[in-house]
């Protein structure tokens, strides 16, 4: 007898590509979603006077993000399977931590951030989208940096053989429909 389990789907890409908007819409449509944790960490550090926590203390910042994302993966494995909605979505994943560190050229201990191939079944990759890109309280990267991060994130997920499905820019509603269509098709293969 096989046990059904939810597929873990990470939505990723460079900063400002629409990930959080899509996560909110998926959640409104009844899907279980894990939100991005780094925004609350950035807000807390700025409120405490630390202007750019990631750039000033990249390993410390990354370790906190890593631990929370591992907790999300563990929590996801405990979510009851729903045949009509067999997907759990994540706004960024653990592989993004490595991609960010690699992007800035920060060395780290491999054992501290140990990646495996079987963490997510699918990675939805959102390309850079200059028309919607803005800097805000949480996003200090330039569009060029966001574009570079996108390429590093893609390279990292590819290195761990996680299937990548790229979603083009467009209206959020259309992107959600495309995501659901692609993950359902991927589930069949």
Least confident of 2-6, 98-102, 118-122, 128-132: 2-6
Distances in whole angstroms, Cα of residue 17 to Cα of each of 1, 6, 9, 37, 124: 41, 25, 17, 17, 12
pLDDT single digits (tens) 130-186 = 887 777 656 678 889 889 999 999 999 999 999 999 999 999 999 999 998 888 776
Answer yes or no: are the C-beta atoms of 58 and 105 closer than 8 Å: no
Distances in whole angstroms, Cα of residue 8 to Cα of each of 74, 98, 123, 127, 187: 11, 19, 9, 20, 11
Give pLDDT, residue 147: 92
CATH superfamily, region 7-188: P-loop containing nucleotide triphosphate hydrolases (3.40.50.300)
Residue of higher predicted confidence among 114 and 103: 103
d(CA 73, CA 34): 9
pLDDT single digits (tens) 45-75 = 655 666 665 677 889 888 989 999 999 999 9
Instruction: Taking residues 95-99, report their average pLDDT.
Output: 94
Residue 41 makes CB contacts below 8 A (sequence gap 6+) with 53, 61, 64, 65
Beta strands in 83-121 (DSSP E): 87-91
Residue positions counted in the chain: 189
Answer yes or no: are the C-beta atoms of 122 and 186 closer than 8 Å: yes
């Amino acid at each position: 007898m096989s046990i059904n389990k939810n597929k873990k789907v990470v939505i990723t890409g460079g900063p400002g590509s629409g990930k959080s908007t899509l996560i909110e819409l998926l959640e409104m449509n009844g899907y279980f979603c894990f939100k991005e944790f780094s925004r609350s960490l950035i807000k807390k550090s700025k409120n405490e006077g630390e202007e750019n926590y990631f750039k000033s203390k990249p390993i410390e910042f990354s370790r906190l993000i890593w631990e929370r994302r591992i907790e999300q993966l563990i929590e996801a494995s405990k979510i009851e399977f729903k045949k009509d909605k067999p997907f759990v979505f994540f706004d960024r994943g653990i592989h993004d931590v490595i991609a960010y560190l690699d992007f800035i050229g920060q060395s780290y201990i491999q054992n501290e951030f140990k990646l495996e191939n079987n963490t997510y079944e699918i990675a939805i990759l959102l390309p850079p989208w200059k028309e919607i890109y803005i800097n805000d309280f949480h996003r200090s990267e330039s569009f060029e940096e966001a574009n570079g991060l996108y390429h590093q994130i893609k390279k990292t997920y590819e290195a761990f053989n996680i299937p990548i499905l790229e979603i083009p820019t467009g209206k959020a509603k259309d992107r959600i429909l495309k995501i659901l269509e692609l993950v359902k098709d991927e589930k069949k293969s």
